[in-house]
């Protein structure tokens, strides 16, 4: 974040294509659109954009109280799943020109288009607008391809015609990822749509995400991209196998099939002690679903032929996901709410398709569901090449 003097200099220049004033503290949607517009950096300043909260349109102080609750809400906009891909931003409380303000500093994205709920916002002079097809094309061309994560890299040898299910793209993915009014314009080619959604590279090659989400045969390219489910009739892996399945297909297909397997294996005990008969599951579906979806979405797909393994024992369920922690997440802070994403484009795609509601709360959600159901907290073992999770049965 810049110094107070530097921020005062920017504030004194007034609103522009990289500065916005607002005296609203409640309109989170307005803040999301502003963050999105500055992250897209259509004017190509290659420098941060700023939202000053507590400043009137004419530049005078709005005399607002900037409290910790507001700062937490603003900071939470980065990872609430509305702005994708995740923006790089900082939030701070400052006193500028004797006025208390909240400042959001937004860095230009290396990976536009940045969108809010499927809509791409840009800054045009001192006003904000939704990007046109031509403006989206210009933003796509700005991508710094050398910096993209693995899941956005092209799969050498793959092609849209031979390896992607375009019917699934047009009927299932596109309506989920793009706002209805943008789809109604109908002036974007399929090639432009694929590239804008980070599903193809500049030369039209399908990305890792495209193959895993829309591929006709994902395992032809990623042999470990499946889930191995084994249920044992006992408390040890040496006990007889009661059920064994390989869950294959695209990631959405895998997660849908996994949901059905979980529902079939969760057992309910009937509590008849009260006036009403209550069913108590040995595991809450929500907790298993959160942990297992995290294992599939955030696993390492680069250079690993290992599947996600689910071992269902009589007294516990064990989940092993290839790949260790990533980025800001370490062994010490794993599961504490610190988030970073090995596969941000896969996470974005799965969010678009409804498999994730918010980012960074999966483990917290699982812990809460387990506690409410009477299960012990989940146990984690983070190693160099995998993350192991054990969930114990409700007693």
Task: Give the count of beta carbons closer than 10 Å to the beta carbon of residue 270.
Answer: 8
Give φ, ψ of 47 to 5 degrees. Answer: -145, 165
DSSP secondary structure string for all residues of 296-332: HHSS--SS--PPEEEEE-SSEEEEEEES---TT--TT
pLDDT band at 270 (very low <50, low <70, confident <90, very high): low
> Cβ(18)–Cβ(123) under 8 Å?
yes
The larger pLDDT score, comparing residue 375 to residue 358, is at 375
Q: Are strands 19-22 and 49-53 parallel, antiparallel or unpaired?
A: parallel
Compute and round to an integer the Cα radius of gyration of the chain. 24
Query: What does the pLDDT average to over 294-312?
Result: 95
User: For residue 362, is pLDDT > 80?
Assistant: yes
Query: What does the pLDDT average to over 370-385?
Result: 95
Nearest alpha carbon to residue 172 among 349, 360, 384: 349
Three-state DSSP state, 107: coil
Strand residue runs (E) in 80-132: 83-84, 89-96, 99-106, 115-116, 119-124, 127-130
Q: Please report, for residues 12, 201, 222, 301, the alpha-carbon distance to residue 305 in angstroms, rounded to integers and kept in the order given.
A: 56, 24, 7, 8
pLDDT band at 278 (very low <50, low <70, confident <90, very high): low
Joined together, the tokens standing for residue 85 give 């891909």
Query: What does the pLDDT average to over 380-393?
Result: 96
Mean pLDDT of the chain, nearest integer: 92
- What domains are defined for the chain? 4-130 (3.30.950.30), 148-218 (no CATH), 227-392 (3.30.565.60)
User: For residue 272, is pLDDT > 60?
Assistant: no
The larger pLDDT score, comparing residue 275 to residue 298, is at 298
Q: Say which range, 18-27, 96-105, 283-292, has the weakest mean pLDDT.
A: 18-27
> Cβ(92)–Cβ(103) under 8 Å?
yes
Joined together, the tokens standing for residue 254 give 């895998």
Residue 73, class by beta-carbon neighbours within 10 Å (0-12 exposed, 13-18 middle, 19+ buried)? middle
């Amino acid at each position: 974040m810049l110094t107070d003097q530097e921020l005062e200099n920017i504030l004194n220049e007034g609103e522009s294509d990289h500065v916005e004033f607002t005296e609203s503290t409640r309109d989170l949607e307005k803040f999301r659109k502003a963050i999105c517009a500055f992250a897209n950096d259509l004017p190509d300043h290659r420098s941060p954009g700023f939202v000053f909260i507590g400043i009137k349109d004419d530049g005078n102080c709005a005399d607002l109280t900037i409290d910790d609750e507001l700062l937490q809400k603003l900071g939470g906009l980065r990872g609430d799943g509305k702005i994708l891909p995740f923006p790089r931003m900082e939030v701070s409380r400052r006193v500028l020109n004797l006025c208390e303000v909240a400042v959001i500093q937004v860095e230009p994205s290396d990976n536009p288009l940045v969108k809010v709920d499927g809509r791409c916002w840009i800054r045009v002079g001192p006003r904000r607008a939704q990007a046109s097809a031509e403006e989206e094309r210009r933003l796509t061309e700005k991508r710094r391809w050398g910096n993209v994560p693995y899941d956005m890299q092209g799969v050498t040898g793959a092609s849209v015609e031979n390896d992607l299910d375009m019917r699934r793209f047009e009927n299932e993915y596109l309506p989920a990822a793009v706002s209805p009014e943008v789809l109604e314009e109908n002036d974007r080619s399929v090639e432009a749509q694929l590239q804008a959604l980070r599903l193809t590279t500049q030369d039209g090659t399908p990305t890792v995400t495209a193959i895993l989400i829309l591929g006709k045969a994902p395992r032809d390219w990623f042999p470990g991209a499946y889930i191995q489910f084994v249920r044992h009739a006992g408390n040890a892996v040496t006990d007889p196998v009661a059920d064994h399945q390989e869950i294959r297909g695209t990631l959405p297909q895998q997660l849908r099939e996994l949901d059905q397997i979980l529902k079939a294996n969760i057992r309910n005990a009937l509590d008849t002690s009260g006036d009403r008969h209550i069913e108590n599951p040995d595991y809450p579906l929500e907790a298993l679903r959160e942990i297992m979806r995290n294992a599939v979405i955030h696993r390492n797909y680069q250079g690993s032929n290992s599947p996600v393994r689910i071992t269902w024992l009589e007294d516990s369920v064990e989940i092993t996901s290839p790949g260790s922690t990533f980025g800001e997440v370490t062994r010490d802070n794993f599961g504490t709410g610190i988030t970073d994403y090995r596969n941000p484009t896969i996470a974005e795609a799965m969010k678009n398709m409804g498999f994730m509601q918010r980012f960074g709360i999966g483990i917290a959600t699982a812990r809460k569901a387990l506690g409410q159901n009477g299960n012990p907290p989940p146990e984690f073992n983070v190693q160099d090449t995998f993350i192991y999770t054990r969930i114990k049965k409700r007693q």
